């Protein structure tokens, strides 16, 4: 049984349909990626999955239909999203942002302190800036904080919307290394990316989305070597 099954989901903005009849699955312990051009509907799909956008169709999480649950209830079930716009609390410190990441857990404060220490281990730059306001962080630091804040919820399924957006190549590689390491901790991941090659290198399975629909899917390996995709999404040069 997949951890997440998105079942014939459609999203509309007024008359315009941004996502049409999309179905996809994320198995436990997998990294699944959705790639596709700008405006394909990837962000809309994630927003619908977490309940911030109204949608039709069904969203099954851990065997339960959560389509009618509030976003907050989905979060409490360990289903989390790092949104494209990050949505950090700009006037709160890095530390407070992380602390609030664990809001849904109602855990003992000792346990939460340990988890914050772990995030700081993962992102030493955040430790240096623990008392700085989130709004004054650099782009890369904000991405780290957004990811770290989501980890504070101890998610079972984490959706990441373009985690490498605007990052220097070196940090991008670092972020993807961290994403891969999360899988080893047992976190399943649904990853939306523009950087198709890096995403497919990290993922187990991939979907390609164009103008609101899934047009290809397959193992990450197969997609990475699919000549049609190489031409469109990977700058045309074959890798092996």
Partner 1 sequence: MTPDIAAILALDGIATGAIYVLMALGFVLIFAVTRVVFVPFGDIAAFTALTLAALELGRLPGTVGLVIGLAVLATLMELYSILRAGSYERIPRALLFYLVLPVAIAGLVWITSGTLWPMPFRIALALLLILPVAPLLDRIVYRPIADASVLLLLTVSVALHFALVGLGLLFFGPDGARTESLTDAMFMLGNIPISGQTILIVVAAAIFCGLLYLFFDFTLLGKALHATALNRTGARLMGIRPERSGTIAYLAGSVLAGVSGILIAPVNTIFYDSGFLLGLKAFVGAIIGGLISFPVTAIGSIFVGLLESFASFQSSAFKEVIVFSVLIPVLLWRSYTFQHTEEDMDE
Ligand X SMILES: Nc1ncnc2c1ncn2[C@@H]1O[C@H](COP(=O)(O)OP(=O)(O)OP(=O)(O)O)[C@@H](O)[C@H]1O
**Stretch binding partner 1 (CB under 8 A), from 15-23, 73-81, 160-168, 190-198:** 73-81
- Quick one: what does residue 38 bind among partner 1, Mg ion, ligand X, none, with the CB cut-off 5 to 8 Å set by partner type? ligand X
Residue 42 contacts ligand X per CB under 6 A: yes
Residue 195 contacts Mg ion per CB under 5 A: no
Q: How far is the CB of 210 from partner 1 (least distance, A)?
A: 27
Hey, what long-range contacts does 52-56 have (CB within 8 A, 24 or more apart)? 53/11, 54/11, 55/9, 55/10, 55/11, 55/19, 56/8, 56/9, 56/10
Q: How far is the CB of 91 from partner 1 (least distance, A)?
A: 5
Show the DSSP H helices in 86-215 as ranges.
Answer: 94-101, 109-122, 124-128, 139-151, 169-184, 196-202
Phi, psi (rounded to 5 degrees) for 224 = -65, -25
Among 30, 33, 43, 195, contact with Mg ion (rule: CB under 5 A)? 43
Length of the chain: 240
- Quick one: what does residue 41 bind among Mg ion, ligand X, partner 1, none, with the CB cut-off 5 to 8 Å set by partner type? ligand X
- Asked if residues 182 and 147 have their Cβ atoms less than 8 Å apart, the reply is no
**Stretch binding partner 1 (CB under 8 A), from 24-32, 91-99, 195-203, 231-239:** 91-99
- Asked if residues 115 and 99 have their Cβ atoms less than 8 Å apart, the reply is no
The residues binding partner 1 (CB under 8 A) are 50, 52, 68, 70-72, 75-76, 80-81, 83, 85-92, 96, 99-101, 103-104, 149, 153
């Amino acid at each position: 049984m997949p951890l997440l099954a998105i079942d014939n989901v459609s999203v509309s903005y007024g008359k315009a349909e941004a996502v049409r009849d999309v179905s996809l699955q994320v198995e436990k312990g997998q990294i699944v990626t959705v790639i596709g051009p700008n405006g394909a509907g990837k962000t809309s799909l994630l927003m619908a999955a977490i309940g911030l956008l109204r949608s039709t169709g069904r969203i099954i999480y851990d065997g339960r239909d959560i389509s009618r649950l509030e976003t907050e209830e989905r979060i409490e079930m360990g289903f989390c999203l790092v949104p494209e716009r990050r949505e950090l609390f700009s006037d709160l410190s890095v530390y407070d942002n992380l602390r609030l990441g664990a809001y849904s857990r109602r855990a003992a404060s000792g346990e939460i302190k340990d988890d914050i220490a772990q995030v700081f281990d993962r992102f030493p730059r955040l430790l240096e800036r623990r008392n700085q306001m989130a709004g004054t962080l650099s782009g890369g630091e904000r991405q780290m904080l957004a990811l770290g804040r989501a980890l504070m919820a101890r998610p079972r399924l984490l959706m990441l919307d373009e985690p490498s957006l605007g990052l220097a190549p070196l940090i991008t590689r670092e972020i993807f290394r961290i994403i891969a390491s999360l899988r080893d901790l047992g976190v399943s991941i649904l990853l939306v990316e523009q950087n198709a090659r890096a995403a497919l290198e990290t993922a187990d399975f991939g979907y390609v989305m164009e103008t609101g629909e899934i047009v290809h899917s397959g193992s990450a390996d197969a997609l990475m070597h699919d000549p049609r995709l190489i031409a469109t999404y990977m700058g045309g040069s074959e890798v092996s």
